[in-house]
């Protein structure tokens, strides 16, 4: 199982994606509520929104519902990262990382926050192969 971050979905849905999801990989793709929110809130056209919403909701979901402990862990990740000298840009990335850590699954990403978090936590962060 892999948790595919918003940064990868945005790239994949773009005109020149760096990663194309194979049928084998698609079977192991998961999402979580914060990723679904981030992906869908960026969609401009209603027709695309409905199709994408249905597709995102059909993926395996982890961290659903998101637990209070996940939010507390996300806050700890953000604070500890700052103490270690990392500038984390997104508290949502910390929440996604907390969910991935709890579920013991790697995050596929194109976002430097996850590499930083992986440097001081149990997060497994990977950039997908082209």
Q: Specify whether the CB–CB gap between 58 and 37 falls below 8 A.
A: no
Number of folded domains that form the chain: 1
**What domain range includes position 78?**
2-126
pLDDT in tens, 13-67: 888 888 887 778 888 999 999 999 999 999 999 999 999 999 999 999 999 999 9
CATH number at residue 34: 3.40.50.1010
Which string of b and e fits 53-92 if b means at least 16 CB within 10 Å? Answer: eeebeeeebbbeebeeebeebbeebbeebeeeebebebeb
How distant, in Å, are the alpha carbons of 26, 55, 75, 88, 93 from that of 116?
A: 26, 30, 15, 8, 11
Q: In the predicted model, is pLDDT for residue 130 greater than 80?
A: no
pLDDT of residue 3: 97
């Amino acid at each position: 199982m892999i948790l595919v971050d918003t940064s990868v979905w945005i790239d994949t849905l773009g005109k020149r994606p760096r990663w194309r999801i194979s049928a084998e990989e698609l079977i192991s793709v998961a999402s979580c509520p914060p990723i679904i929110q981030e992906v869908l809130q960026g969609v401009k056209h209603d027709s695309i929104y409905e199709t994408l919403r249905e597709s995102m909701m059909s993926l395996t979901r982890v961290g659903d519902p998101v637990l209070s402990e996940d939010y507390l862990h996300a806050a700890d990740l953000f604070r500890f990262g700052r103490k270690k000298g990392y500038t984390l840009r997104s508290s949502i990335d910390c929440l996604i990382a907390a969910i991935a850590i709890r579920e013991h699954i790697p995050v596929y990403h194109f976002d430097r926050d996850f590499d930083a978090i992986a440097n001081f936590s149990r997060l497994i962060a990977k950039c997908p192969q082209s």
